[in-house]
Amino acid sequence: MDGSLQILRLAPAGGGDGSGVGGSTFTRLGPLPRSSGGGGGDAVSTQASDVVHAVAAFRDHAKYVVCARWSRDGALLATASHDKTVALYSTAAAAADGDGAAAAAAPLRLVTKLYFPEAVEAVEFVGGGASGDPQRLMVASREQPHLVYVDLVDGAGYAQARVSVNANAWDAHVSFSVLGLAASPDGRYVLAATDRARTIVYRAGHNAHIRTLVGHAADAYFQPRAAWSPSGLTAFCNSQDARGVVAYCVAGARVVERAGGHAGAVRDVCTHPTARVLYTASYDKSVKVWTY
């Protein structure tokens, strides 16, 4: 909330797997319930034994940070803020700055700040890896009729290209804001969570609406978020009304599961990169771990 970025390292204690955070309670539930809206059976709580170490802190934003994303190779970190800027940090730049001890103490260095006309709500890295496309940074600003793609190729000078959020590129009117972005596992597609109770699937770099996912609730006062399953076949969206999450079949653009279980609104969802595990974070001060 103070515009700072905290870099932490999780050091597993006693042979832990690094999946928890010291002092936090993680609740593991069973499989996602079938349209029941319930909590999915008995919950088992375990106390994690990991230790959190503060590695570095940065304060490059004038307002609170709303989103942070690592690049696929871990070389870049982007943060978005309502001060209308995106800060881009590099691990390579930090390593090149000095000796190993300095790099270990401050593993990132700010390489550039990008400025936008409105509050920035979301950033995401697309391309790279299996997609065969060059890696780019996507930026979503509130009440803008386009998404911005920032070129990250060396020597490109962080050139920007605008791609309409509307199915018709000539349409300059925008009736929604993109408040959350999530790239597919192969980097080719993007889930764009909006404040109009719909999540749009785009092909990276294109404006065509490949799929539109409706069945969850979200308005301008909510924090809509979305996440892909490792296979790319399922999408998860938090829902404002059910204090839970909705699972969609992406190919059919249909709801396949609904899950509740939180006492407060779910503010974020994410998935494990390889396992069939979903994490939900809520204003009820808990993180729940789901299998599906």
Picking from 194, 214, 234, the residue at the C-terminal end of a domain is 214
Arithmetic mean of pLDDT over the chain: 86
Comparing 25-34, 64-73, 195-204, 231-240, the range with the smallest average pLDDT is: 25-34
Q: What whole-number distance in Å separates Cα of residue 279 and Cα of residue 282? A: 10
120 and 196 part of one domain: yes
For the chain, the domain total comes to: 2
CB 230 within 8 A of CB 273: yes
**Looking at the structure, do residues 111 and 233 belong to the same domain, yes or no?**
no
Please name the helix (run of DSSP H) or strand (run of DSSP E) that holds residue 157, with its range, or none. none
**Can you give the pLDDT at residue 30?**
59
Task: Provide the pLDDT for residue 47.
Answer: 45
Given pLDDT bands bounded at 50, 70 and 90, which one contains residue 17? Answer: very low
Task: Residue 287: name the closest of 23, 106, 16, 28 by CA.
Answer: 28
Could you tell me if residue 200 is inside a domain? yes
One domain for residues 206 and 82: yes
Q: Establish if 31 belongs to a structural domain.
A: no
Does some domain include residue 118? yes
User: Are 226 and 177 in the same domain?
Assistant: no
36 band by pLDDT with thresholds 50, 70 and 90: very low
Which pTM value belongs to this model?
A: 0.85
What's the pLDDT tens digit per position in 218-236? 998 899 999 999 999 999 9
Region 183-207: mean pLDDT is: 96
Question: How far, rounded to the nearest angstrom, does the alpha carbon of residue 227 sit from its chain's CA centroid?
Answer: 7
* 27 in any annotated domain: no
Radius of gyration (Cα) for the chain, nearest Å? 19
Q: Which of the listed residues 185, 214, 243 is the one where a domain comes to its end?
A: 214
CA distance 276 to 280: 14
Whether 62 maps to a domain, the answer reads yes
Q: Report the C-alpha gap between 288 and 279 in whole angstroms.
A: 6
The pLDDT of residue 104: 60
- Structural domain containing residue 101: 1-7+56-214
Average pLDDT over residues 186-205: 96
| Residue 44 resides in a domain | no
Q: Are residues 86 and 190 in the same domain?
A: yes
Q: What is the CATH number of the domain that holds 131?
A: 2.130.10.10
- Out of 26-30, 54-58, 124-128, pick the least confident: 26-30
